Protein backbone atom coordinates (compact mmCIF):
# COMPACT_ATOMS: atom_id res chain seq x y z
CA UNK A 1 0.00 0.00 0.00
CA UNK A 2 1.39 3.41 -0.88
CA UNK A 3 2.12 6.16 1.63
CA UNK A 4 -1.08 7.57 3.10
CA UNK A 5 -1.64 11.07 4.43
CA UNK A 6 -4.24 12.42 6.82
CA UNK A 7 -6.73 15.25 6.22
CA UNK A 8 -3.99 17.82 6.88
CA UNK A 9 -1.53 16.15 4.48
CA UNK A 10 0.59 14.52 7.19
CA UNK A 11 2.10 11.09 6.46
CA UNK A 12 2.21 8.25 8.99
CA UNK A 13 5.84 7.72 9.97
CA UNK A 14 6.22 7.19 13.68
CA UNK A 15 4.49 4.60 15.88
CA UNK A 16 4.58 4.71 19.67
CA UNK A 17 3.62 1.55 21.45
CA UNK A 18 2.79 1.59 25.15
CA UNK A 19 3.41 -1.88 26.58
CA UNK A 20 2.10 -1.31 30.11
CA UNK A 21 0.16 1.25 32.17
CA UNK A 22 2.13 0.35 35.32
CA UNK A 23 5.06 2.31 36.67
CA UNK A 24 7.53 2.17 39.54
CA UNK A 25 7.53 6.00 39.73
CA UNK A 26 4.74 8.43 40.54
CA UNK A 27 5.92 11.56 38.73
CA UNK A 28 3.83 14.55 39.75
CA UNK A 29 3.21 15.56 36.13
CA UNK A 30 2.19 12.09 34.98
CA UNK A 31 0.90 9.74 37.72
CA UNK A 32 0.54 11.84 40.88
CA UNK A 33 0.57 9.48 43.86
CA UNK A 34 -2.58 11.00 45.38
CA UNK A 35 -4.49 9.68 42.36
CA UNK A 36 -2.39 6.62 41.51
CA UNK A 37 -2.25 5.24 45.05
CA UNK A 38 -2.24 1.65 46.35
CA UNK A 39 -5.91 1.24 45.38
CA UNK A 40 -5.43 2.25 41.77
CA UNK A 41 -6.56 -0.53 39.46
CA UNK A 42 -4.17 -1.23 36.60
CA UNK A 43 -4.99 -3.23 33.51
CA UNK A 44 -4.96 -6.99 34.00
CA UNK A 45 -2.44 -8.88 31.87
CA UNK A 46 -5.20 -10.28 29.66
CA UNK A 47 -6.19 -6.74 28.69
CA UNK A 48 -2.74 -6.00 27.27
CA UNK A 49 -1.91 -6.80 23.68
CA UNK A 50 0.35 -9.84 23.44
CA UNK A 51 3.71 -9.57 21.68
CA UNK A 52 2.33 -11.58 18.76
CA UNK A 53 -0.55 -9.11 18.42
CA UNK A 54 1.81 -6.12 18.62
CA UNK A 55 4.04 -7.63 15.95
CA UNK A 56 1.05 -8.15 13.68
CA UNK A 57 0.02 -4.53 14.14
CA UNK A 58 3.59 -3.31 13.59
CA UNK A 59 3.70 -5.20 10.27
CA UNK A 60 0.52 -3.43 9.18
CA UNK A 61 1.73 0.01 10.30
CA UNK A 62 5.01 -0.48 8.43
CA UNK A 63 3.00 -1.19 5.26
CA UNK A 64 1.25 2.15 5.79
CA UNK A 65 4.55 4.05 5.98
CA UNK A 66 5.83 3.74 9.56
CA UNK A 67 9.62 3.93 9.72
CA UNK A 68 10.21 4.39 13.45
CA UNK A 69 8.84 2.64 16.50
CA UNK A 70 9.21 3.86 20.06
CA UNK A 71 8.39 1.56 22.97
CA UNK A 72 6.99 3.35 25.99
CA UNK A 73 4.56 3.02 28.91
CA UNK A 74 3.98 3.40 31.93
CA UNK A 75 7.43 2.08 32.57
CA UNK A 76 8.14 -0.26 29.63
CA UNK A 77 10.92 -2.15 31.43
CA UNK A 78 8.29 -3.49 33.85
CA UNK A 79 6.70 -5.50 31.03
CA UNK A 80 7.91 -9.07 31.28
CA UNK A 81 10.38 -10.25 28.62
CA UNK A 82 10.50 -6.89 26.84
CA UNK A 83 13.70 -7.90 24.95
CA UNK A 84 11.60 -10.61 23.24
CA UNK A 85 9.34 -7.92 21.77
CA UNK A 86 12.35 -5.86 20.67
CA UNK A 87 13.91 -8.80 18.87
CA UNK A 88 10.60 -9.69 17.17
CA UNK A 89 10.24 -6.09 15.96
CA UNK A 90 13.80 -5.87 14.66
CA UNK A 91 13.98 -9.38 13.17
CA UNK A 92 10.44 -10.24 12.10
CA UNK A 93 9.14 -6.77 11.21
CA UNK A 94 12.53 -5.47 10.08
CA UNK A 95 12.17 -2.10 11.81
CA UNK A 96 15.61 -0.48 11.80
CA UNK A 97 14.78 2.55 13.88
CA UNK A 98 13.46 1.32 17.19
CA UNK A 99 13.89 3.17 20.44
CA UNK A 100 12.59 3.08 23.98
CA UNK A 101 11.75 5.67 26.62
CA UNK A 102 12.34 4.66 30.23
CA UNK A 103 12.88 6.09 33.69
CA UNK A 104 16.08 4.07 33.66
CA UNK A 105 16.09 2.36 37.04
CA UNK A 106 15.84 -1.15 35.59
CA UNK A 107 18.51 -0.59 32.96
CA UNK A 108 21.40 -2.06 34.99
CA UNK A 109 19.53 -5.37 34.80
CA UNK A 110 18.20 -5.11 31.25
CA UNK A 111 20.44 -2.91 29.08
CA UNK A 112 22.60 -5.79 27.79
CA UNK A 113 19.58 -7.94 26.86
CA UNK A 114 17.91 -5.00 25.10
CA UNK A 115 21.05 -4.33 23.07
CA UNK A 116 21.38 -8.00 22.15
CA UNK A 117 17.74 -7.95 21.04
CA UNK A 118 18.55 -5.22 18.50
CA UNK A 119 17.77 -1.98 20.34
CA UNK A 120 20.16 0.81 19.41
CA UNK A 121 18.78 3.93 21.03
CA UNK A 122 17.23 4.77 24.36
CA UNK A 123 15.77 7.88 25.99
CA UNK A 124 16.12 8.06 29.74
CA UNK A 125 14.00 10.50 31.74
CA UNK A 126 15.67 12.43 34.55
CA UNK A 127 14.37 15.72 35.93
CA UNK A 128 17.07 16.70 38.41
CA UNK A 129 20.46 15.70 39.77
CA UNK A 130 19.43 16.95 43.19
CA UNK A 131 18.29 14.10 45.45
CA UNK A 132 15.44 15.95 47.16
CA UNK A 133 14.04 17.64 44.08
CA UNK A 134 14.24 14.44 42.06
CA UNK A 135 12.47 12.52 44.83
CA UNK A 136 9.76 15.18 44.95
CA UNK A 137 9.26 14.96 41.20
CA UNK A 138 9.28 11.18 40.86
CA UNK A 139 7.00 10.77 43.88
CA UNK A 140 8.75 7.59 44.93
CA UNK A 141 11.90 8.84 46.71
CA UNK A 142 14.02 7.33 43.96
CA UNK A 143 17.52 8.84 43.82
CA UNK A 144 19.06 10.37 40.70
CA UNK A 145 22.04 8.03 41.17
CA UNK A 146 19.80 5.08 40.27
CA UNK A 147 19.00 6.71 36.95
CA UNK A 148 22.63 7.64 36.36
CA UNK A 149 23.53 3.98 37.01
CA UNK A 150 20.94 3.08 34.37
CA UNK A 151 22.46 5.54 31.90
CA UNK A 152 25.94 4.13 32.59
CA UNK A 153 24.67 0.59 32.05
CA UNK A 154 23.01 1.57 28.76
CA UNK A 155 26.18 3.20 27.49
CA UNK A 156 28.33 0.26 28.59
CA UNK A 157 25.99 -2.06 26.68
CA UNK A 158 26.53 0.07 23.54
CA UNK A 159 23.18 1.86 23.45
CA UNK A 160 23.04 5.45 22.27
CA UNK A 161 21.48 7.54 25.07
CA UNK A 162 19.49 10.76 25.17
CA UNK A 163 18.05 12.23 28.36
CA UNK A 164 14.59 13.81 28.76
CA UNK A 165 13.93 16.43 31.42
CA UNK A 166 10.44 17.82 32.08
CA UNK A 167 10.85 21.35 33.39
CA UNK A 168 8.32 22.74 35.89
CA UNK A 169 8.52 26.33 37.06
CA UNK A 170 9.25 26.68 40.77
CA UNK A 171 10.07 22.98 40.96
CA UNK A 172 13.15 22.15 38.91
CA UNK A 173 13.82 25.17 36.68
CA UNK A 174 16.91 25.68 38.87
CA UNK A 175 18.17 22.34 37.50
CA UNK A 176 18.35 23.48 33.89
CA UNK A 177 21.98 24.62 34.13
CA UNK A 178 23.34 21.82 36.34
CA UNK A 179 21.69 19.23 34.06
CA UNK A 180 23.06 20.99 30.96
CA UNK A 181 26.58 21.10 32.41
CA UNK A 182 26.52 17.48 33.50
CA UNK A 183 25.24 15.99 30.24
CA UNK A 184 27.29 18.34 28.05
CA UNK A 185 30.38 17.08 29.85
CA UNK A 186 29.28 13.51 29.14
CA UNK A 187 28.40 14.39 25.52
CA UNK A 188 24.84 13.13 25.99
CA UNK A 189 22.00 15.01 24.30
CA UNK A 190 19.65 16.50 26.88
CA UNK A 191 16.10 17.28 25.75
CA UNK A 192 13.97 19.65 27.77
CA UNK A 193 10.23 19.02 27.60
CA UNK A 194 7.75 21.78 28.37
CA UNK A 195 5.29 20.57 31.01
CA UNK A 196 2.22 19.50 29.02
CA UNK A 197 -1.49 19.45 29.77
CA UNK A 198 -1.82 15.74 29.05
CA UNK A 199 -4.52 13.76 30.84
CA UNK A 200 -6.77 14.95 33.64
CA UNK A 201 -4.78 14.24 36.77
CA UNK A 202 -1.58 16.29 36.71
CA UNK A 203 -3.08 19.65 37.78
CA UNK A 204 -1.46 21.36 34.80
CA UNK A 205 -1.20 25.13 34.95
CA UNK A 206 0.23 27.35 32.24
CA UNK A 207 2.06 29.24 34.99
CA UNK A 208 4.12 26.12 35.79
CA UNK A 209 5.44 25.71 32.25
CA UNK A 210 9.05 26.80 31.75
CA UNK A 211 8.86 28.32 28.27
CA UNK A 212 11.51 27.34 25.71
CA UNK A 213 12.74 30.93 25.64
CA UNK A 214 13.52 30.83 29.35
CA UNK A 215 15.37 27.52 28.91
CA UNK A 216 17.43 29.00 26.07
CA UNK A 217 18.20 32.18 28.02
CA UNK A 218 19.30 30.14 31.02
CA UNK A 219 21.66 28.01 28.94
CA UNK A 220 22.90 31.08 27.04
CA UNK A 221 23.95 32.67 30.35
CA UNK A 222 26.70 30.07 30.52
CA UNK A 223 27.25 28.54 27.04
CA UNK A 224 27.13 29.62 23.43
CA UNK A 225 25.30 27.48 20.90
CA UNK A 226 23.59 27.59 17.50
CA UNK A 227 20.39 26.06 16.14
CA UNK A 228 20.73 22.85 14.13
CA UNK A 229 18.47 22.10 11.14
CA UNK A 230 15.97 19.31 11.73
CA UNK A 231 17.23 16.04 10.30
CA UNK A 232 13.75 15.10 9.01
CA UNK A 233 10.27 16.55 8.70
CA UNK A 234 8.33 16.09 11.89
CA UNK A 235 11.31 15.96 14.26
CA UNK A 236 9.87 16.63 17.71
CA UNK A 237 12.73 18.50 19.38
CA UNK A 238 14.16 21.82 18.23
CA UNK A 239 17.89 21.16 18.29
CA UNK A 240 20.93 23.26 19.24
CA UNK A 241 24.68 22.53 19.16
CA UNK A 242 27.21 24.00 21.59
CA UNK A 243 29.87 26.07 19.83
CA UNK A 244 32.84 24.61 21.62
CA UNK A 245 32.05 20.91 21.88
CA UNK A 246 30.47 18.25 19.75
CA UNK A 247 27.29 17.97 21.80
CA UNK A 248 23.67 18.99 21.28
CA UNK A 249 20.63 19.75 23.37
CA UNK A 250 16.99 20.04 22.34
CA UNK A 251 13.68 21.49 23.48
CA UNK A 252 10.24 20.02 22.94
CA UNK A 253 8.07 23.10 22.71
CA UNK A 254 4.59 21.63 22.65
CA UNK A 255 3.19 24.56 24.63
CA UNK A 256 4.99 27.65 23.35
CA UNK A 257 5.61 26.55 19.76
CA UNK A 258 3.46 23.56 18.85
CA UNK A 259 4.38 21.36 15.94
CA UNK A 260 1.08 19.73 14.93
CA UNK A 261 1.63 20.75 11.30
CA UNK A 262 4.25 18.02 10.94
CA UNK A 263 2.87 15.51 13.42
CA UNK A 264 3.27 12.07 11.90
CA UNK A 265 2.82 10.04 15.09
CA UNK A 266 0.37 7.24 15.79
CA UNK A 267 0.02 5.72 19.23
CA UNK A 268 -1.15 2.38 20.54
CA UNK A 269 -2.09 2.31 24.22
CA UNK A 270 -1.24 -0.60 26.50
CA UNK A 271 -4.76 -1.87 26.00
CA UNK A 272 -4.48 -1.78 22.24
CA UNK A 273 -6.37 1.42 21.43
CA UNK A 274 -5.22 3.45 18.43
CA UNK A 275 -4.82 7.17 19.24
CA UNK A 276 -4.13 9.75 16.55
CA UNK A 277 -3.22 12.48 19.08
CA UNK A 278 -1.63 12.61 22.52
CA UNK A 279 -4.53 14.78 23.69
CA UNK A 280 -7.34 12.62 22.36
CA UNK A 281 -10.16 11.62 24.64
CA UNK A 282 -10.62 8.17 23.19
CA UNK A 283 -8.94 5.67 20.95
CA UNK A 284 -10.15 3.00 18.57
CA UNK A 285 -9.86 -0.57 19.77
CA UNK A 286 -7.40 -2.57 17.71
CA UNK A 287 -7.55 -5.42 20.19
CA UNK A 288 -11.20 -5.99 19.41
CA UNK A 289 -10.42 -5.83 15.72
CA UNK A 290 -7.56 -8.31 15.68
CA UNK A 291 -9.25 -10.66 18.14
CA UNK A 292 -12.30 -10.74 15.85
CA UNK A 293 -10.39 -12.74 13.24
CA UNK A 294 -9.90 -9.90 10.76
CA UNK A 295 -7.68 -10.64 7.71
CA UNK A 296 -4.42 -8.76 7.11
CA UNK A 297 -5.99 -6.84 4.23
CA UNK A 298 -9.01 -5.84 6.29
CA UNK A 299 -6.72 -4.72 9.10
CA UNK A 300 -4.75 -2.52 6.68
CA UNK A 301 -7.94 -0.96 5.34
CA UNK A 302 -9.18 -0.36 8.87
CA UNK A 303 -5.96 1.37 10.00
CA UNK A 304 -5.64 3.42 6.85
CA UNK A 305 -9.24 4.66 7.12
CA UNK A 306 -8.46 5.96 10.62
CA UNK A 307 -5.34 7.80 9.45
CA UNK A 308 -7.04 9.19 6.34
CA UNK A 309 -9.74 10.69 8.55
CA UNK A 310 -7.33 12.25 11.06
CA UNK A 311 -7.46 16.00 11.60
CA UNK A 312 -6.00 16.41 15.12
CA UNK A 313 -4.07 19.54 16.00
CA UNK A 314 -4.81 20.01 19.67
CA UNK A 315 -1.66 21.93 20.66
CA UNK A 316 -1.92 24.40 17.79
CA UNK A 317 -5.56 25.05 18.63
CA UNK A 318 -4.69 25.55 22.30
CA UNK A 319 -1.92 27.96 21.29
CA UNK A 320 -4.33 29.94 19.11
CA UNK A 321 -6.93 29.99 21.86
CA UNK A 322 -9.42 27.83 19.96
CA UNK A 323 -11.76 26.51 22.67
CA UNK A 324 -11.25 22.76 23.06
CA UNK A 325 -14.19 20.42 23.31
CA UNK A 326 -14.55 19.65 27.01
CA UNK A 327 -13.86 15.94 26.92
CA UNK A 328 -11.72 13.84 29.25
CA UNK A 329 -8.20 13.40 27.86
CA UNK A 330 -6.33 10.11 28.01
CA UNK A 331 -3.61 9.80 30.69
CA UNK A 332 0.07 9.98 29.68
CA UNK A 333 0.88 6.78 31.59
CA UNK A 334 -1.68 4.95 29.46
CA UNK A 335 -0.59 6.22 26.06
CA UNK A 336 3.10 6.82 26.69
CA UNK A 337 4.09 10.29 25.51
N1 LIG B 1 8.16 5.81 32.11
C2 LIG B 1 8.95 6.17 30.98
C3 LIG B 1 9.66 7.47 31.23
O4 LIG B 1 9.28 8.21 32.15
O5 LIG B 1 10.58 7.75 30.48
C6 LIG B 1 8.17 6.23 29.69
C7 LIG B 1 6.79 6.81 29.70
S8 LIG B 1 6.70 8.53 30.05
C9 LIG B 1 4.96 8.80 29.97
C10 LIG B 1 7.35 9.25 28.55
C11 LIG B 1 7.87 10.65 28.67
O12 LIG B 1 6.78 11.52 28.90
C13 LIG B 1 8.87 10.89 29.79
O14 LIG B 1 10.04 11.50 29.29
C15 LIG B 1 8.13 11.82 30.71
O16 LIG B 1 9.00 12.68 31.39
C17 LIG B 1 7.22 12.55 29.76
N18 LIG B 1 6.05 13.15 30.39
C19 LIG B 1 5.14 12.55 31.18
N20 LIG B 1 4.18 13.41 31.56
C21 LIG B 1 4.48 14.61 31.00
C22 LIG B 1 3.87 15.90 30.99
N23 LIG B 1 2.77 16.16 31.65
N24 LIG B 1 4.47 16.88 30.27
C25 LIG B 1 5.60 16.64 29.58
N26 LIG B 1 6.21 15.44 29.52
C27 LIG B 1 5.67 14.44 30.23
FE1 LIG C 1 6.22 6.65 35.25
FE2 LIG C 1 7.33 7.75 33.15
FE3 LIG C 1 4.98 8.65 34.05
FE4 LIG C 1 7.16 9.09 35.50
S5 LIG C 1 6.74 9.87 33.43
S6 LIG C 1 5.20 8.31 36.27
S7 LIG C 1 8.35 7.30 35.08
S8 LIG C 1 5.35 6.68 33.18
FE1 LIG D 1 0.47 15.64 17.29
FE2 LIG D 1 -1.73 15.99 18.75
FE3 LIG D 1 0.67 16.70 19.71
FE4 LIG D 1 -0.45 18.11 17.74
S5 LIG D 1 -1.23 17.90 19.80
S6 LIG D 1 1.70 17.43 17.85
S7 LIG D 1 -1.49 16.48 16.58
S8 LIG D 1 0.01 14.62 19.20
Ligand 3, atom 7, residue with closest C-alpha: 313
| Residue 2: per-residue pLDDT | 63
Indicate the top mutation candidate among 75, 135, 150 to test ligand 2's pocket, ranked by most ligand atoms within 8 A of CB.
75
- In this prediction the pTM is 0.96
Q: What is the pLDDT of residue 1?
A: 60
Say yes or no: CB of residue 198 within 6 Å of ligand 1: yes
Evaluate whether residue 188 is within a structural domain: yes
- According to the model, what pLDDT value does residue 326 have? 62
Domain that holds residue 290: 14-335
**Would 9 be classed as within a structural domain?**
no
- C-beta of 264 in contact with ligand 3 (< 6 A): no
Cα of 253 vs centre of ligand 3, distance in Å, is 11
Look at residue 330 in the predicted model and tell me its pLDDT.
Answer: 77
Would 5 be classed as within a structural domain? no
Which CATH number goes with the domain that contains 240? 3.20.20.70
Q: Is the CB of 101 under 6 A from ligand 1?
A: yes
Decide: 12 in ligand 3 pocket, CB within 6 A.
no
Distance CA 20, CA 331 (A): 13
Q: Tell me the CA distances in angstroms from 33 to 30, 137, 141, one per residue in order.
A: 9, 11, 12
Find, among 272, 262, 193, 310, the residue nearest to 17 by Cα: 272
Instruction: Say what the alpha-carbon torsion angle 62, 313, 32, 99 is, to the nearest 10 degrees.
Output: 30
For the CA of 265, the nearest ligand: 3
Does the beta carbon of 137 lie inside 6 Å of ligand 1?
A: no
Buried b (16+ CB within 10 A) or exposed e, 112-127: bbbbebbbeebbbbbb
In order along the chain (337 residues), what is the average pLDDT of each group of 10 residues? 87 97 96 92 94 97 96 97 97 92 98 97 98 96 96 98 97 97 98 90 88 97 96 89 96 92 95 93 93 96 97 86 72 74
Compute and round to an integer the Cα radius of gyration of the chain.
19
Cα separation, 102 vs 337, in Å, equals 11
Please indicate, yes or no, if residue 172 is contained in any of the structural domains: yes
Q: Is 166 a pocket residue for ligand 1 (Cβ < 6 Å)? A: yes
Predicted confidence at residue 155, as pLDDT, reads: 98
195 lines ligand 3 (CB under 6 A): no
Helix segments in the chain, DSSP class H: 51-63, 82-87, 107-116, 131-138, 144-157, 176-185, 212-220, 286-291, 296-308, 314-320, 332-335
pLDDT value at residue 117: 96
6 in a structural domain: no
Within-domain flag for 7:
no
Query: Tell me, what's the pLDDT at 25?
Result: 97
DSSP 11: B
Question: How many domains would you assign to the chain?
Answer: 1
Tell me, yes or no, whether 257 lies in a domain: yes
The answer to whether residue 1 sits within a structural domain is no
Amino acid sequence: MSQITDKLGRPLRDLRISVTDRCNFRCTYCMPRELFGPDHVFLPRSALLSYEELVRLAHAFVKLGVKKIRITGGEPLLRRDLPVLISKLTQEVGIEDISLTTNGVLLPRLAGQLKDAGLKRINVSLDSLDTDRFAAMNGQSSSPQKVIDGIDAAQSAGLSVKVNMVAKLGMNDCDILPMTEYFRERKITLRFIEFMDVGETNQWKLGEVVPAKQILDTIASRFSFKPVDPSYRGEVATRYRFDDTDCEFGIITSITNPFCGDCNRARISAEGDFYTCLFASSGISLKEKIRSGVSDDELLQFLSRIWLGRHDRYSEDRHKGVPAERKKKVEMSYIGG
